């Protein structure tokens, strides 16, 4: 257990990831209410919206109104998601409020690239090069390289560590061509195919090639293994995870209607807390925000913890 990190960074994506898939409509006021409540829990990274086409993702037709509306808490980094130059320009209008960074986003599964983006892998490489060039021209650093479907794909099947490495190599070639300095890799279990041994093998293979790069995991709880996968990664020293309060969200193009969303933020915090790892997050406060999220969407969310409560809450009762 010597590789355990002292601190785990929980990168909250509940507002963006959650409200993109909810049938809704979710009011702008409720989105703002959730964002501001999350900032009061000790979370330092919150992804607040998507600047994408409202025809494709109608749940984020009010992205500008949400960013304009929430009150930013000092010390919290608020981010957004976009996929093209138009989205970048929309985000840049809020440069004083959002932390804006560029990324090269690829998929280890060509079948999912076609389903998600209607592009071949080669076409997506060209699009990412154009996108990265636009970011750099706008003065936005491109430091992140993301790989979706890094552990398996509902359309293509198993994804090997070698396929992930090959995808990263393609992304690093783009970075070299446009002059981007990639410091971070994000590996996404987009469709919930990961199990702990697969997590271990993929991280080990990526680290053996690029030991200096920081790795973030984006885990989905499709098959109930997200916490187990996070545990395996934490034991290997991984200290950054994307998560969503209450387990909000899920990919609308993953081909599995009704699948659970990301690893629940509060369950990840509980895991860390019980392992003696700091997160800086008030778990009981986060659980309350999870209950708020469930009330906003109007149906039960995947998180068991927002119904069961924290262990410390029961320890205090027993004391």
* DSSP H or E stretch at residue 186: strand 184-189
* C-beta atoms surrounding 106 within 10 Å: 22
Can 272 be counted among the known catalytic residues? no
**Token representation of residue 85:** 């130059």
- Given the residues 153, 251, 264, 272, select the one marked as catalytic: 251
Closest CA to 207 of 163, 238, 242, 240: 238
Q: Strand 102-107's sheet: what is its strand order? A: 77-81, 45-50, 9-12, 240-243, 214-219, 184-189, 142-148, 102-107
CB atoms within 10 A of CB 144: 19
CB-based contact 187:209 (threshold 8 Å): no
- The CA distance from 105 to 125, in Å, is 9
Q: Which residues are the active-site residues?
A: 251
């Amino acid at each position: 257990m010597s590789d355990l990190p002292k601190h785990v960074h929980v990168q909250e994506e509940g507002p963006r990831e959650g409200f993109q898939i909810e049938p809704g409509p979710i009011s702008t006021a409720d989105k703002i209410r959730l964002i501001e409540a999350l900032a009061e829990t000790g979370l330092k990274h919150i992804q607040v919206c998507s600047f994408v086409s409202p025809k494709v993702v109608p749940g984020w037709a009010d992205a500008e109104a949400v960013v304009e509306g929430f009150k930013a808490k000092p010390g919290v980094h608020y981010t957004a998601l976009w996929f093209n130059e138009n989205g970048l320009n929309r985000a840049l209008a809020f440069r004083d409020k959002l932390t804006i960074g560029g990324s090269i986003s690829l998929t280890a599964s060509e079948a999912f690239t076609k389903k998600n983006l209607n592009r071949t892998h080669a076409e997506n490489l060209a699009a990412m090069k154009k996108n990265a060039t636009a970011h750099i021209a706008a003065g936005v650093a491109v430091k992140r390289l993301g790989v979706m479907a890094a552990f398996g794909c509902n359309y293509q099947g198993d994804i090997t560590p070698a396929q992930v490495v090959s995808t990263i190599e393609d992304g690093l070639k783009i970075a070299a061509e446009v002059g981007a300095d990639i410091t971070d890799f994000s590996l996404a279990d987009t469709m919930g195919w990961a199990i702990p041994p697969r997590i271990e093998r993929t991280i080990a293979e990526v680290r053996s090639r690029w030991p200096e790069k920081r790795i973030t995991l984006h885990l989905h709880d499709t098959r109930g293994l997200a916490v187990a996968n996070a545990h395996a990664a934490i034991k290997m020293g991984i200290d950054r995870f994307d998560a969503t309060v209450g387990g909000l969200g899920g990919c609308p193009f993953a081909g599995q209607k009704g699948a659970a969303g990301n690893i629940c933020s509060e369950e990840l915090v509980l895991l860390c807390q019980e392992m003696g790892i700091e997160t800086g997050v008030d778990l009981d406060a986060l659980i309350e925000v999870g209950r708020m999220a469930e009330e906003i969407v109007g149906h039960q969310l995947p998180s068991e913890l927002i119904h069961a409560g924290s262990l410390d809450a029961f320890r205090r009762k027993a004391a």
